[in-house]
Chain A
Amino acid sequence: MTPATRYTATAIALHWLTALLIAATFPLGLYMHGLALSPFKLQLVSYHKWLGVTIFLLALARLAWRLGHAPPPLPDTIPAWQQRAAQGLHHLLYVLLLVIPLSGWLMSSAKGVPVVYLGMVQLPDLVGKDKALGEMLEGIHEMLNFGLMGLVGMHVAAALKHHFIDKDTTLLRMLPFGKRGNHEN
């Protein structure tokens, strides 16, 4: 049996859904942070938390997928060191997809505002109310997010470089709407 040349439909769906949610959650976080207190701001803060929890759950689902599936191999035209670098970057992205929502959840707990997912499911507080800790976690949450944006930038740049400059199948492995196993599509 030849190895799959593309990610499974599940993996592709989870990847792009995560990408979409990050594209919403990150700017939302930046925007709401600068707003003066208002009901609108309180709503946005809640939506931001719900999105973060969703990204966390999707990251867990993706890790579960990885446990059961090997990702399709990269084209063998890519040098070994680049393959290792790509793998390292992917691992870092997974770590941040889990750690960033966790840092937000910790921050919420420390600030004395429990996270109630979708306004329905109250998550347990991870730490007790502690103003100084809350402010520290806010700084960490922000820093991690800018780190994530840097990594996402590299991730996207590499994918585009492989697609448009190297003209290899790296990106096609993850694109939806392609025919299974057909590189030319």
Chain B
Amino acid sequence: MRISHYSLPLFLLLAHGAQAVEFNTVQPAGSMVAFAYKQMNVPMEGKFGKFSASIAFDPERIQSAQARIEVDLASIDTGFSESDDEVAGKLWFNTKAFPVAQFVSGGVKALGNNRFEALGKLTIKGRVLDVVAPFTFKQEGRVAVFDGTFSLKRLDYAIGEGIWSDLSTVANEIQIKFRITAAAAPAKK
């Protein structure tokens, strides 16, 4: 009895402390940017080896949440070196002229049940478009994992021009999957 008598206020204090926590130190080892698409109706998957992310996310203060993700497009891993070379070329990403894909958040919306939506601008190959990326937030102690998926139409960004603009082989819809793991630090004032 005595234990719970003392532990209850302590618990409340800890809970209050957790609310003030902002997750803002990205852990690259627990993060990834991957993609999935269909080629001749065959489900294909790949990922990007290099990207950088900076986020600031306090689930209790999402109005100040921020995210910025930059993907090194030449680090693509499609599973085939021939394809990796091809998509770095002019018809696809044209990585010499546009080495980086960038997402910058403009706001976060709570959907309830630890689900959120990041609204922002996605820039690829010089094209800037609005995207909405739903994600889940999972907190384990001082670390949080953000898992999300959204899809884009590759032709909106001129990814795969010329002969590749034929959508019967490589489909237009590309699913982007991301996981960002971030540790907590005291909230910035």
In this complex, how many residues of chain B approach chain A with their Cβ under 8 Å: the count is 18
Contact of A46 among B42, B166, B170 (CB under 8 A): B42
User: Judging by beta carbons under 8 Å apart, are B164 and A111 in contact?
Assistant: no
B63: Cβ under 8 A from any A Cβ:
no
| Contact stretch, chosen from B26-34, B79-87, B123-131, B179-187 | B79-87
Chain B residues with CB under 8 Å of A116's CB are: 40-43
Residue with the highest number of chain A CB atoms closer than 10 Å, among B40, B43, B45? B40
B114: Cβ under 8 A from any A Cβ:
no
CA of A129 to CA of B42 in the docked complex: distance in angstroms? 15
User: Judging by beta carbons under 8 Å apart, are B169 and A119 in contact?
Assistant: no
Chain A residues with CB under 8 Å of B42's CB are: 46, 113-116, 122
Q: What does DSSP make chain A's interface, helix, strand, loop or mixed?
A: loop
Known: A42-B39, A42-B169, A42-B170. A37 touches B83 (CB 8 A): yes
A29: Cβ under 8 A from any B Cβ:
no
Known: A37-B86, A112-B79. A43 touches B43 (CB 8 A): no
A-contact 0/1 string along B89-105, CB 8 Å cutoff: 00000000000000000
User: Judging by beta carbons under 8 Å apart, are B164 and A39 in contact?
Assistant: yes
Chain A residues with CB under 8 Å of B80's CB are: 111
Q: What does DSSP make chain B's interface, helix, strand, loop or mixed?
A: mixed
CA of A17 to CA of B170 in the docked complex: distance in angstroms? 31
CA of A171 to CA of B164 in the docked complex: distance in angstroms? 48
A2: Cβ under 8 A from any B Cβ:
no
A38: Cβ under 8 A from any B Cβ:
yes
A-contact 0/1 string along B138-166, CB 8 Å cutoff: 00000000000000000000000001101
CA of A119 to CA of B43 in the docked complex: distance in angstroms? 10
B44: Cβ under 8 A from any A Cβ:
yes
A120: Cβ under 8 A from any B Cβ:
yes
Contact of A39 among B41, B43, B170 (CB under 8 A): B170
8 Å CB contacts to B: which residues of A104-122?
Answer: 111-116, 119-120, 122
Binding site for B on A (CB under 8 A): 37-39, 42-43, 45-46, 111-116, 119-120, 122, 129, 131
Q: Which 10 A-B pairs have the closest CB atoms?
A: A39-B169, A119-B41, A46-B40, A112-B79, A116-B42, A42-B169, A37-B86, A37-B82, A116-B41, A39-B166
- Chain A to chain B contacts (Cβ below 8 Å), 6 pairs: A39-B163, A42-B169, A43-B40, A115-B42, A116-B42, A120-B41
